[in-house]
């Protein structure tokens, strides 16, 4: 398995857990610098940017498919508050989470699918 595949696998397995660059690098048996540099060369983004995008994408899917409150979804996505989650969600998708929940549609947002 290539380094990029190992990094992606580690990220996908830890979407609902606290993750640091160092813990990802340790799990992949490389230095944080080498991991971040290699990941950016292949994907065009940092591992942590990919992690945030994946968490927010999973949260968006949860918004339309379930009845969990936004705080529960935010905590599941590793955000410490409703406000922090709402800011990150709106910055990434361009719309607040409440509008996704109300519309029950993801037609106007671009999700980050697993690489």
Instruction: Judge contact between 16 and 76, C-beta under 8 A.
Output: yes
- pLDDT given at position 68: 82
d(CA 47, CA 32): 10
Its CATH class, for the domain covering 3-48, is mainly alpha
Q: What is the CATH number of domain 53-103?
A: 1.10.10.60
Domain chopping of the chain, boundaries? 3-48, 53-103
- pLDDT given at position 105: 84
Nearby residues of 16 by Cβ (< 8 Å), 6 or more positions away: 76, 77, 78
Q: Considering the entire predicted model, what is its pTM? A: 0.91
Is a pLDDT exceeding 80 seen at residue 66? no
∠ Cα 59 64 69 (to 5°): 65
Average pLDDT value for residue range 86-105: 92
Domain pair 3-48 / 53-103, same fold: yes
User: To the nearest whole percent, how much of the chain has pLDDT over 90?
Assistant: 82
């Amino acid at each position: 398995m290539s380094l990029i595949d190992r990094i992606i696998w580690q990220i996908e397995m830890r979407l609902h857990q606290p993750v640091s660059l160092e813990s990802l690098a340790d799990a992949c048996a490389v230095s944080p610098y080498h991991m971040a540099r290699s990941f950016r060369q292949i994907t065009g983004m940092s591992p942590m940017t990919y992690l945030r995008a994946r968490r927010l994408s999973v949260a968006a899917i949860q918004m339309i498919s379930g009845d969990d409150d936004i705080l529960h979804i935010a905590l599941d996505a590793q955000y410490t508050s409703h406000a922090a989650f709402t800011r990150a969600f709106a910055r990434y998708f361009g719309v607040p989470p409440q509008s996704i929940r109300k519309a029950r549609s993801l037609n106007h947002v671009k999700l980050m699918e697993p690489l």
